[in-house]
Structure 1
Amino acid sequence: MYQDIEVDELFSGKEKETVTMIDVRSPSEFQEGRIPGSINIPVFDDQERAEVGTIYKQDSPEAARERGVEIFSEKLPAFLKAFQAIDGQKVVYCWRGGMRSKAAATVVDLMGMTIHRLKGGYRAYRKWVVHTLDELNLTPAFFVLNGNTGTGKTAILHRLKEEGYPVIDLEGMANHRGSIFGHIGQEPHNQKTFDSLLVHDLLTYQDSPFIVIEGESKRIGKVVLPSFLIEKKEQGMQLFIELPVEERVKNILDDYQPWNREEAYLQAYERIKRRIHTPVAKDIEANLKAGKFEQAIEQLLAYYYDPRYQHAAAQYEEGQKIVIKARDVDDAVHQVKQVLPAYHPNLRGKRL
């Protein structure tokens, strides 16, 4: 017989690294919010869920269960085959640990596969996320990457993470680049998804001597950073990256590739052009429409982004900031690593 497992038990030990989480809710529920790393094997698709729900409200719970069993029975072979393709430990969950996860766990168990069910389902997990973020005592020091638009801060973070450094990519968790153009080509995450990704990374690095993040504002796209993270960021050592303008323009072109979504960039530009001196704003718009993206980006940096960023360095005391003047991203990565404390990931974050 399958067994229930508590959220705290699931995410407090080594088991969390080897378990596959299986979400049996409908695809739209899965899209709205899920446990990171989960895969979706739905008991009902969206249309079937709506049908069963309507029967429950308009007829009776018994009739809804009967229709649910009928629908589920028809897809059992494919459903079980999907579970059989998953190696290792499996934990199934639905919205609140109800009938869908119970039905899934029961049939999988009857086929001889070991399965656990998450007690309380996704709702219990969401409560755990909120509670953990509220109560978390974050001890690592913070190193914060700052710099004008185009200085490759996200690329630097990714390079550091590839080498095993404790890095939290807030823009990646928000699935938004943080600028007025940051949503283009992305599907920005909602707050639930962001919170889930954030809490797991914070717990992963809780024993590290430090964490490296980017100097984000309180809001990134659709999501808002928790207050304690803003405070840690403001208290951290601020690293200000400086690159030549031509390198910054190149980085922006490589990241955004505006020629692939010209109309979207023009629409986004409409939201900021009133903040730029009118003749310059018209010139930028003309360059965007003409596909002269390099010129347009240079103008946006000079007349919009750089002036708005100039105050950032001034708000920190001299002992709290380090300026890194680099030729390119490779050079910046090298210099940042010289600033960070001695660290080796095999020591689980302990200082050498």
Structure 2
Amino acid sequence: MREDTNKYLELFINNTPMVDLRAPIEFNQGAFPSAISLPLMTDDEREKVGTCYKQQGQDAAIKLGHQLVCGQTKDQRMELWLNFCRNNPEGYIYCFRGGLRSRTTQQWLKEAGIDYPLVQGGYKALRNALLTTLADLPKSMPFHIVGGKTGSAKTLMVNTLGNAVDLEGAAHHRGSSFGRFVEPQNSQINFENVTAIEMLKRQNAGFQQLVFEDEGRNIGSVDLPVPLYQGMQAAPVTVIEDPLDVRLQRLLQEYVIDMVADYTRVHGEEQGHVLCEEYLLLGLDKIKRRLGDQRWRTLREEMQKAIKMHQQGSGYEAHLNWLAPLLELYYDPMYEYQLSQKNERIIYRGNWQECHDYLSEVTANKDQ
């Protein structure tokens, strides 16, 4: 069984291209980074076949499936599969359990002149291999945590270390009330898949430790897997200590300037500004209860003034009028309290570059 799991994991380590033959609804619920959705059946076709299977049995369901995917429909899907196989001779195909859908597609490809492999056990076996990784790796590889107040560029730190895994990147969320991006956040399944694969790749590269950004139990709408979270709670911590003005400029760029650019790029100038305004106001509204009504009202008024000014072309500096007190009165005290719970685990403090140099030296050693 372990040998089979290792074969599945090699597909992820090697970024092996794969065709996911499941219906679009299945793919959207959870998939793998190196897989492309080229379904055998549409959602509607799959539902009809499933209903037929329940009411009339397997033989009738198979017959209906062939009736639904035939003629021009079959030819169009075959063309997509054949193009993929020709462009990715090292790839694989899979369905949910490696059963009828992948075997049928494999046979059609063979009849068309291409002998293409399928993943035995399908999506379910691949997914289970990644879940096993998330359960086992925290027990076998030491962790190291990068901490620091909001705006300390912790995510930048993990993305510049070869043995670090970017959990916020895997979640597609920055972890704060202003943490979402223009595009939707990753699903729980996709977050787990990406995280497990990135951990595997670091282990396969020979690293002996993994570095993570200090995170809470949740990143946006996704939960950290329990073994991973528990491992992080026991790990040594390096704390970035950058001055307030440096952190403020980073947050101005990240929360405001970059988000304005992204919203207008995706939605156009007018609608982009409207949606970005909604994003900023909603981020503040999410923490209204923690801020207290009066403080929330004051910060909201400053935010609305700053939004109006940047929409009129007066620049972004006015946003510091709400960002500075938000850091000083809310985020900084909150993080100082959280960090006080980790005092016994803190082994290094310094500015961003000092912490980067330290982590590069003490955690990036590889197996020989």
Q: TM above 0.5, one fold?
A: yes
1:18–1:115 distance in 2 versus 1, CA, 3 Å: farther
Equivalence for 1:302: 328
Pairing 1:213-292 to 2, within 5 Å after superposition = 213-257=212-256, 258-259=259-260, 260=263, 261-290=276-305, 291=307, 292=318
Contact 2:209 2:364 survives alignment (8 Å): no
Which of 25, 42, 45 is equivalent to 2:42?
45
**1:8 alignment partner AA:** T
Normalised by the length of structure 1, the TM-score is 0.84
Q: Name the residue aligned to 1:31.
A: 28
CA distance in 2, matches of 1:282, 1:18: 49
Structure 1 stretch displaced more, 211-220 or 83-92: 83-92
Q: Unmatched 5+ residue regions in structure 2?
A: 264-275, 308-317
Q: Deviations over 1:153-191 (max 9, x none)?
A: 11122222xxxx211111111111101121242422222
* Contact 2:154–2:213 (8 Å) recurs in 1: yes
User: Which amino acid letter does the alignment assign opposite residue 367 of structure 2?
Assistant: K
The partner residue of 1:205 within 202, 212, 219 is: 202
Query: Is the 2:155–2:213 Cα contact (8 Å) retained in structure 1?
Result: yes
Deviation, 1:85, is 4.3
Match of 1:312 in 2: 338
For residues 124 and 13 of structure 1, do their structure 2 counterparts lie closer, same or farther at Cα, with a shift above 3 Å needed? Answer: closer
SS at match of 1:19: coil
Q: Give the drift of 1:215.
A: 0.5
User: Secondary structure of the residue that 2:87 maps to in structure 1?
Assistant: coil
User: TM-score scaled to structure 2, two decimals?
Assistant: 0.81
Provide the rounded CA distance (Å) in 1 between the counterparts of 2:240 and 2:69.
56
In structure 1, how many angstroms separate the alpha carbons of the residues matched to 2:132 and 2:57? 36
Report which stretch shifted further, 70-79 or 86-95. Answer: 70-79
Contact kept? 1:249, 1:298, Cα under 8 Å: yes
- C-alpha RMSD over aligned residues: 2.7
Q: Is the 8 A contact 1:142 1:212 kept in 2?
A: yes
> Per-residue deviation at 1:284?
0.8
Relative distance call for 1:344 and 1:88 in structure 2 (3 A) is farther
Alpha carbons 2:38, 2:81 under 8 Å: kept: no
Instruction: Please name the residue that 2:270 is paired with.
Output: none
State the Cα distance separating 1:24 from its structure 2 match.
0.8
Deviation for aligned residue 1:319: 6.8
5+ long unaligned stretches in structure 1 = 1-5, 326-331
Secondary structure (helix, strand or coil) at the match of 1:75 reads helix
| Conservation of the 8 A alpha-carbon contact between 2:172 and 2:181 | no
Q: In the alignment, which residue of structure 1 is the partner of 2:272?
A: none
Q: Distance in 2 between matches of 1:281 and 1:128?
A: 46
Q: Which residue of structure 2 aligns with residue 130 of structure 1?
A: 131
Sequence identity (%)? 28
**Distance in 2 separating the partners of 1:306 and 1:9:** 44
Bigger mean CA offset, 265-274 vs 57-66: 57-66
CA shift for structure 1 position 314: 2.2
Q: How does 1:4-23 map to 2 (within 5 A)?
A: 8-13=5-10, 17=14, 19-23=16-20
Check whether the contact 1:19–1:89 (CA below 8 A) recurs between aligned residues: yes
The 1:53–1:316 alpha-carbon spacing in structure 2 relative to 1, beyond 3 Å, is closer
1:293 maps to: 319
Q: Give the corresponding residue for 2:155.
A: 154
The 8 Å contact of residues 91 and 118 in structure 1, kept in 2 or not, is answered as yes
User: For residues 11 and 58 of structure 2, what CA distance do their matches in structure 1 show?
Assistant: 40
Q: Contact 1:151–1:242 (CA<8 Å) still a contact in 2?
A: yes
Residue type of the alignment partner of 1:267: L
Q: Distance in 1 between matches of 2:88 and 2:4?
A: 21
Q: Provide the residue aligned with 2:142 in structure 1.
A: 141
